[in-house]
Amino acid sequence: MKYYHKRVLENSTFKEALDRTREALKQEGFGILTEIDISATLKKKLGVDFNPYIILGACNPPFAYKALQLENKIGTMLPCNVIVQEIAPKRIEIAAIDPEVSMETLKNDQLTEVAGEVNKRLQRVLVHL
Q: How confident is the model over 106-115, as pLDDT tens digits? A: 999 999 999 9
CA distance 120 to 129: 15
Identify the bridge partners of residue 59 per DSSP, sorted by sequence position: 31
Specify the pTM.
Answer: 0.94
Q: What is the mean pLDDT of the chain?
A: 97
pLDDT digits (tens, 9 = 90+) for 57-101: 999 999 999 999 999 999 999 999 999 999 999 999 999 999 999
Return the pLDDT at 1.
Answer: 79
Contact 72, 65 (CB under 8 A): no
When pLDDT is averaged across residues 18-30 and rounded to a whole number, the result is 98
Domain that holds residue 74: 4-127
**Total number of domains constituting the chain:** 1
Choose among 115, 94, 111, 102: nearest CA to 6: 94
CATH code, domain carrying 30: 3.30.310.70
Radius of gyration, CA atoms only, the chain: 15
